[in-house]
Structure 1
Amino acid sequence: MVSIPDLANYRKDAVAGFLRTRRTRIDPDACSPAFDPVGDRRVAGMRREEVAWAARISFDYYVKLEQGRMLNPSPSVLNSIIKALRLSALDRRYLSLLFEEEAPFEARTDERDRHNARATLDEVASHFPEATMRHILDRDLNLVLPDAASKAILFPGNASAPSELSLVDYMFSRQHRQYSRKVYVDWRDKAAEVIGLVHMKLVTQVASESLVSTVQELLHDPAFRQLWTRYVPYKNTSGCWRIRLRGEDNRFEVRDCPYITVNAAEDPEQSLVTYL
């Protein structure tokens, strides 16, 4: 029987999945007393005993951590594990938040601040008249498409494309993924990014009930679940995606589109994503 992650146990499952996947990426230290150069290594990367040795903690203690049975390691132990697994800055932040007894809750801004923030982002957008596409992204990962050109790119051939929708739904729902798979050439990488954004929402306790419900339902999809259980966080900043666009001759062409993300000072919950 397939085990479906329950988001009510998110921190426990995420700690277990995160530690397990990260150690598989690291080559074992040949100097470790736990290293067996001739034994049958049935798993990629480091074994649990090798991580425990590198972090200078007991094997039993590390096993409890990786199984999600202990969610309160000391700062020194946590730092030792971070070093042993050679984590990136974002991975370090994500793991630290998972072990927080009470993850920081970001208070929602009021209606006036949200309105002012939107006006600020609209002003910023006006300085990029030649932008390929733009959209507003809020804390619940809802997309607001402010112009017809952006809607036409994300929903090619759909004259009744919505002006607002969930980014998660756009990428994964049966209704919309026919479009996202066509638009994003590297769809699987984009899908992993979106899942990474959700992981950061959950670990900082800012995910709405609607977003949690959507993800819980999607976890029944094996393809979504496979990406989800990698526990790779993501922070939306800048980058480049290959986008399939309709050209002047009405044929589709693939274009490299760098994008930048701008957050509003009045309301960090909202950001403008502009594809150049």
Structure 2
Amino acid sequence: MSDDQRRTELSRFLRARRQRLSPEEAGLPHAERTRRRTKGLRREEVAALAGISLPWYTMLEQGKEINVSDQVLDSLARALRLNADERMHLMYLANPRPIELRAKPSDDRPAVPPSLTYLLDQMPLVPAYISDEKLNVLAWNPLASAVFGSFESANRRERNMLWRLFMMPSSRSLFVDWELVAGSLLGHFRAMYTMHIEDVCYRSFIDELKEGSPEFAVWWDNYEVACISQNRREIAHPRVGKLNLETKLLRVEDSRDRYLNVFIPDPNDGSAARLAKLAEETPVTITT
């Protein structure tokens, strides 16, 4: 990520977090509430809560080039009531660590190594797939396709889980609590985007989603951040009925930001039996 890109993203993040926080939520119950032109907190209120000067905070929010200590960032995170994921995001943007310089595997490696496709083949009773940092599904087992909708016949965009949720009505209607699932995936995607902001493929993908989904455009500007996505999935499956699935997201070591997504059925409400029935009806060919 270039310094200019990082500072621009930091500016957007701080402004979004300041504007979403009310004086009452920030611990300012007696703040004057009439004739407020600013949604949420004013800059001077954030600066006072964090114990820093207004000119310094203003420069930070405007994306100016300034040095920031971890102590000051901690104070700012507390003032803005950031959760753990948001605090990590702030630290990364304001004071990036050497993680950016970590070695990347050679580009001549396969997108999904045979060992991972073999692993998928050994999980016939749970939906599982391999995704990348953009939420593209790279390989999947038959049950994943049977549960979430066909990946085999999908084009490149339609194999992206975020695209499916915002752009494909058939996928959207699958999830009982669509907003929770979509928000979780969007927060994870945002965190990954920040770490790969120099990748132009992200920008074109985001622009396509904003153009095709006004809902996505609004949510993107709200700037939600989550570093992992492990919310439960409650699915209204058209063939076997309700499936309650616990999400497990595991990063694959020594890979180019590859993740193993496994969905484990609730053993107590019949989901496991219904999923097993679906597995019996599904061919057993692994696809990448």
Structure 2 unaligned segments of length 5 or more: list them.
265-288
**Cα distance change, pair 230–107 in 1 and its aligned pair in 2 (3 A):** farther
Task: Tell me: higher relative CO, structure 1 or 2? Use CA pairs within 8 A at least 6 residues apart.
Answer: 1
RMSD: 3.5
Q: Distance in 2 between matches of 1:112 and 1:14?
A: 31
Asked whether the 8 Å contact 2:163–2:209 carries over to 1, the reply is: no
1:204-243 counterparts in 2 under 5 A?
204-205=195-196, 208-220=199-211, 221-243=213-235
Residue 73 of structure 1 aligns with which residue? 68
Query: CA shift at 1:54, angstroms?
Result: 1.4
Residue 137 of structure 1 aligns with which residue? 131
Residue 244 of structure 1 aligns with which residue? 236
Q: Distance in 2 between matches of 1:80 and 1:210?
A: 35
The yes-or-no answer on 1:196 pairing with 2:192 is no
Q: Distance in 2 between matches of 1:208 and 1:63?
A: 28
Residue 272 of structure 1 aligns with which residue? 260
* TM-score between the two structures when normalised by the length of structure 2: 0.73
Identity of aligned residues (%): 25
Query: CA shift at 1:126, angstroms?
Result: 4.8
Segment drifting more, 103-112 vs 87-96: 103-112
Asked whether the 8 Å contact 2:188–2:229 carries over to 1, the reply is: no
Structure 1 unaligned segments of length 5 or more: list them.
1-7
Asked whether the 8 Å contact 1:180–1:187 carries over to 2, the reply is: no
Query: CA shift at 1:152, angstroms?
Result: 3.0
**Cα distance change, pair 106–210 in 1 and its aligned pair in 2 (3 A):** farther
Which one of the candidate residues 13, 16, 20 is aligned to 2:11? 16
Q: Distance in 2 between matches of 1:19 and 1:121?
A: 39
Q: Distance in 1 between matches of 2:153 and 2:139?
A: 13
Secondary structure of the residue aligned to 1:135 is strand
**Cα distance change, pair 111–62 in 1 and its aligned pair in 2 (3 A):** closer
Query: CA shift at 1:65, angstroms?
Result: 2.1
The yes-or-no answer on 1:153 pairing with 2:147 is yes
Secondary structure of the residue aligned to 2:153 is coil
Given residue 174 of structure 2, which amino acid in structure 1 is its aligned partner?
A: V
Query: CA shift at 1:70, angstroms?
Result: 4.5
Asked whether the 8 Å contact 1:240–1:256 carries over to 2, the reply is: yes
**Cα distance change, pair 154–105 in 1 and its aligned pair in 2 (3 A):** farther
Query: CA shift at 1:79, angstroms?
Result: 2.4
Query: CA shift at 1:207, angstroms?
Result: 6.7
**Cα distance change, pair 183–45 in 1 and its aligned pair in 2 (3 A):** same
Q: Distance in 1 between matches of 2:155 and 2:73?
A: 45
Residue 58 of structure 1 aligns with which residue? 53
Q: Distance in 2 between matches of 1:146 and 1:217?
A: 25
Q: Distance in 1 between matches of 2:132 and 2:122?
A: 21
Asked whether the 8 Å contact 2:124–2:143 carries over to 1, the reply is: no
Secondary structure of the residue aligned to 1:219 is helix
* TM-score between the two structures when normalised by the length of structure 1: 0.75
Offset from partner CA, 1:13-55 (integer Å, 9 cap, x none):
4323322332333523349xxx635755565653322211111
Given residue 143 of structure 2, which amino acid in structure 1 is its aligned partner?
A: A
Offset from partner CA, 1:87-145 (integer Å, 9 cap, x none):
22211111111123687145432368657x744434544554321x2111123422034
Q: Distance in 2 between matches of 1:114 and 1:76?
A: 42
Asked whether the 8 Å contact 2:120–2:140 carries over to 1, the reply is: no
Q: Distance in 1 between matches of 2:33 and 2:205?
A: 47
Q: Distance in 2 between matches of 1:107 and 1:245?
A: 42
